[in-house]
Amino acid sequence: MPESVAIVGAGVAGAAAAIRLAERGVEVDLYEAVPEPKPIGAGLLLQPTGQRVLAAMGLLNEALALGTRVDRLFGDTPTGRTVLDMSYRRFQADACGLGIQRGALMGLLWARVRALGIRWHCGAAVEGFSQDATGVTLQFAGGASARHAALVLANGSFSRLREGVRVAQHARPFPWGAVWTVLPAPAGFPQIELRQRFRAASQMLGLMPVGRSSHDDPERGINLFWSLPVAELEGWQTRIGLDRLKQQMVHLFPDVAPLLAGLTEPAQLREARYADVWMQRWHDGRVLAIGDCAHGMSPQLGQGANMALIDAHELAADLGGDWSQVFARYTRRRRAHIRFYGQASKRLTPMFQSDAVVAPWLRDRFFGWGGRLPYIHQQSIATLAGYKTGWLWGRLKL
């Protein structure tokens, strides 16, 4: 029987899972469809839980050197009404978020993949798979195949391979997406908090310090997020245009004007789409889904990369027995945490990205007031930090 585990997708979830399994002595084959992988997207917010996983991998100090500490999340409306005001330090004295460029994080993970000698197959698009009692067979374009002891799917929210996992599931695209970029931080531009500005739920601008792209890059960046309906994402360059888009941003939040001086070409903005991915369970025999492939959600809670790192860590935490048993135990351990964040994301998204009227009106009037109450603030920060496993109680243990 083949002993190696196949992992499809070399993003945060796939690369981290390959590393954690290899560190436990498991042979891993990492498959990536793109011939020359490059990080997709802009900045990430790594929560304290995700940082603990990086620490366990020996990568946290390097990540801290590249990224920027985020002490606070603050959001308001153009009229000055506070919507969100959450301080990590009020939750735990040494807690913080870590803003980091996706390219910087992926550079650290991919370097470790290579250092561990993990077999990395780039330009190898897996088109399907089948499993039996002793292993999993992957099918590639052109009729080639490969045999492995187990398969981990980590190829994103829009994975087609997930349909081969024989469990009840759905993947519903969100009607709202965004454009992202990382721009050079102007002199004196604040770099200690994640800053958001809202007009109802139809306009949302986010700014987050994300540090340097590499150790050789002296310039620190600010991640810019601008919410757009998916219907407007396609062809926005000609229909809206860059100049008009920048005018809308400045009109919503005048303080962003100095930063936008670095935005000169439409190509600097990358489009982002999201899906709500739900699975009855994440394993099927010798096949397991992790990361966005298993539980994709909107970016409102900043949990995408965080959840991916936790998935990888938990997958390698208990490897006794055959792979179907390993995957079943993983599902049991991850169920409460994943279910809570899936539900929370689904309920919060219409308050921040939608055409709704009532939901953002309630958000503007009660979120800021409620956040001043110690208990609600503690629960809100625990949610943001990635620790919650239930609405009333439950705390993740790593």
CATH number at residue 102: 3.50.50.60
What single DSSP character describes residue 103?
H
Is 384 within the bounds of a domain? Answer: no
Is 142 within the bounds of a domain? Answer: yes
Longest C-alpha distance within the chain, in Å? Answer: 65
**SS3 track for 203-225:** EEEEEEEEECCCCCCCCCEEEEE
Q: Is residue 102 over pLDDT 90? A: yes
Q: Which long-range contacts (CB under 8 A, 24 or more apart) does 265-269 make?
A: 266/237, 266/242, 268/181, 268/183, 269/179, 269/180, 269/181, 269/226, 269/242
Q: Is residue 1 over pLDDT 70? A: no
Stretch (H or E) spanning 239: helix 236-239
Is 51 within the bounds of a domain? Answer: yes
Q: Give me the DSSP letters along 106-166.
A: HHHHHHHHHHTT-EEEET--EEEEEE-SS-EEEEEGGG-EEEESEEEE-S-TT-SGGGGS-
pLDDT tens, residue by residue, 53-74: 999 999 999 999 999 999 999 9
With a pLDDT cut of 90, the percent of the chain lying above it is 84
* Phi, psi dihedrals of residue 226, rounded to the nearest 5°: -130, 120
User: Closest by alpha carbon to 110, among 180, 18, 237?
Assistant: 18
41 pLDDT band, cuts 50/70/90, is: low
2 pLDDT band, cuts 50/70/90, is: low
Is 46 within the bounds of a domain? Answer: yes
Contact between 284 and 266 under an 8 Å Cβ cutoff? The reply is no
Residue type, 292: D
pLDDT tens, residue by residue, 338-379: 999 999 999 999 999 999 999 999 999 888 888 888 888 889
Beta pairing class for 5-8 and 28-32: parallel
User: Closest by alpha carbon to 21, among 190, 148, 156?
Assistant: 148
pLDDT tens, residue by residue, 248-278: 999 999 999 999 999 999 999 999 999 999 9
Q: Is residue 39 over pLDDT 60? A: yes
| pLDDT value, residue 290 | 98
Count of domains for the chain: 1
Residue 152, classified by CB atoms within 10 Å of its CB into exposed (0-12), middle (13-18) or buried (19+), is buried
As a whole number of angstroms, the distance between CA 325 and CA 349 comes to: 35
As a whole number of angstroms, the distance between CA 149 and CA 286 comes to: 8
CB-based contacts of 371: which residues, under 8 Å, 6+ apart? Answer: 82, 84, 85, 86, 377, 380
User: Closest by alpha carbon to 70, among 91, 40, 54?
Assistant: 91
Residue 38: which region, alpha, beta or left (left: phi > 0; alpha: psi -120 to 50)?
beta
Stretch (H or E) spanning 305: helix 304-315
- How many angstroms separate the Cα of 210 from the Cα of each of 63, 66, 70, 206, 268? 11, 8, 9, 12, 16
Is 141 within the bounds of a domain? Answer: yes
User: Closest by alpha carbon to 166, among 279, 284, 282, 281?
Assistant: 284
Helices (H), ranges, 316-397: 323-352, 358-371, 374-384
Residue type, 187: A
> What pTM, to 2 d.p., does this model score?
0.95
Q: Is residue 8 over pLDDT 60? A: yes
With a pLDDT cut of 70, the percent of the chain lying above it is 99
CB-based contacts of 75: which residues, under 8 Å, 6+ apart? Answer: 82, 83, 84, 85, 195, 196, 197, 198
Give the pair of three-digit tokens for residue 32. Answer: 């990536």
Is 322 within the bounds of a domain? Answer: yes
Domain limits at 26? 5-71+95-173+275-356
Stretch (H or E) spanning 243: helix 242-252
Mean pLDDT within 217-225 = 93
HSE-up (13 A, CA, CB side) for residue 150: 24
Residue type, 29: D
HSE-up (13 A, CA, CB side) for residue 118: 33
142 pLDDT band, cuts 50/70/90, is: confident
pLDDT tens, residue by residue, 159-186: 999 999 999 999 999 999 999 999 999 9
- Please give the angle made by the CA atoms of 146, 148 and 150, to the nearest 5 degrees: 135
Contact between 277 and 126 under an 8 Å Cβ cutoff? The reply is no
Mean pLDDT within 317-335 = 96
Contact between 90 and 381 under an 8 Å Cβ cutoff? The reply is yes
Is 82 within the bounds of a domain? Answer: no
Q: Which of 37-51, 285-299, 341-355 is predicted least confidently?
A: 37-51
Is 320 within the bounds of a domain? Answer: yes
